Amino acid sequence: MNTLDQVLEKALQLSYEQQEILIKILQNRHHESRRAEMAADAQQSLADFRAGKFRPQSARYVITELCQCLDKSKA
């Protein structure tokens, strides 16, 4: 298996144009992978919701909880 250093060294041997193409390919694949991960998370959340695993909450309560969580992560 190639190490990251080996892969980078090989990539640097490519022409400038090929390096740009490689970068775009990697970015696109990374974005596709992230989208698939988010879609799977959303599907699981919907399944959990339909199974009754979430309790009803007001929007105000959810926003307050989110703000508190974000404030804690900044500290």
For 15-71, how does the pLDDT look when each residue is reduced to its tens digit (9 = 90+)? 999 999 999 999 999 999 999 999 999 999 999 999 999 888 999 999 999 999 998
Grade residue 6 by pLDDT with cuts at 50, 70 and 90: very high
Report whether 9 contacts 17 (CB < 8 A).
no
Q: Report d(CA 4, CA 12) in Å as an integer.
A: 12
Q: Which amino acid is at 37?
A: E
| pLDDT confidence band for 74 (50 / 70 / 90) | confident
Which residue, 59, 73, 21, 50, is CA-closest to 11? Answer: 21
- pLDDT higher than 80, residue 1: no
